[in-house]
Amino acid sequence: MDKYIVVGNPIKHSKSPQIHHAFAQQTGQSMDYSMFEIALGNFASYMDNFFSEKGCGVNITVPFKQDAYQYADVLSTRAQLAGAVNTLKRQEDGTILGDNTDGEGLVKDLLAHEVCLKGSRILLIGAGGAARGVIYPLLQQLPKNMVIVNRTREKALKLAQHFHTYGPIVGFGHDEIGAQEFDLVINATSASLSGNLPSIPTSIFPSSCCVYDMMYSSNTTVFNQWATKHGARLCLDGLGMLVGQAAESFFIWRNIYPETKPVLMDMRKLLDQEK
Ligand code: ATR
Reported as a single tens digit per residue, the pLDDT across 46-99 is 999 999 999 999 999 999 999 999 999 999 999 999 999 999 999 999 999 999
pLDDT digit string, tens, across residues 24-39:
999 999 999 999 999 9
Task: Give the per-residue pLDDT at 203.
Answer: 86
In the reported structure, the alpha carbon of residue 69 is separated from the centroid of ligand 1 by a whole-number distance in angstroms of 21
CB 128 within 8 A of CB 121: no
Annotated active-site residue 65? The verdict is yes
CB 26 within 8 A of CB 3: no
- Of the pLDDT bands very low, low, confident and very high (cuts 50, 70, 90), residue 204 is confident
- Of the pLDDT bands very low, low, confident and very high (cuts 50, 70, 90), residue 205 is confident
Q: How far apart are CA 268 and CA 239, in angstroms?
A: 8
In this structure, which residue's CA is closest to atom 16 in ligand 1? 151
Mean pLDDT, residues 177-197: 91
Out of 65, 89, 108, 155, the active site residue is 65
Question: Of 124, 147, 190, 222, which is best to mutate to test ligand 1, by the most ligand atoms within 8 angstroms of its C-beta?
Answer: 190
In the reported structure, the alpha carbon of residue 27 is separated from the centroid of ligand 1 by a whole-number distance in angstroms of 38
Q: How far apart are CA 187 and CA 126, in angstroms?
A: 7
Q: What is the DSSP string of the chain?
A: -EEEEEEESS-TT--HHHHHHHHHHHHT--EEEEEEE--TT-HHHHHHHHHHTT--EEEE-TT-HHHHHHH-SEE-HHHHHHT--SEEEE-TTS-EEEE--HHHHHHHHHHHTT---TT-EEEEE--SHHHHHHHHHHHTT--SEEEEEESSHHHHHHHHHHHGGGSSEEEEEGGG-TT---SEEEE--SGGGGT------GGG--TT-EEEES---SSPPHHHHHHHHTT-SEEEETHHHHHHHHHHHHHHHHS-----HHHHHHHHHHHHHT-
Task: Give the per-residue pLDDT at 59.
Answer: 98
**CA angle 94-97-102, nearest 5°?**
155
pLDDT digit string, tens, across residues 106-158:
999 999 999 999 999 999 999 999 999 999 999 999 999 999 999 999 999 99
Domains of the chain, with CATH numbers?
A: 2-100+240-273 (3.40.50.10860), 103-237 (3.40.50.720)
Of 214, 215, 213, which is closest to residue 234 (Cα–Cα)? 213
Q: How far apart are CA 67 and CA 44, in angstroms?
A: 7
pTM for this prediction: 0.95
Helices 261-273 and 239-254: crossing angle in degrees, nearest 10, is: 130
Q: How far apart are CA 200 and CA 188, in angstroms?
A: 14
Phi, psi of 35, rounded to the nearest 5 degrees: -115, 150
Question: Mean pLDDT of all residues in the chain?
Answer: 96
Pocket of ligand 1 (CB under 6 A): 126-131, 150-152, 155, 189-191, 196, 198
CB 46 within 8 A of CB 38: yes
| pLDDT at residue 235 greater than cutoff 80 | yes
Task: Give the per-residue pLDDT at 167.
Answer: 98
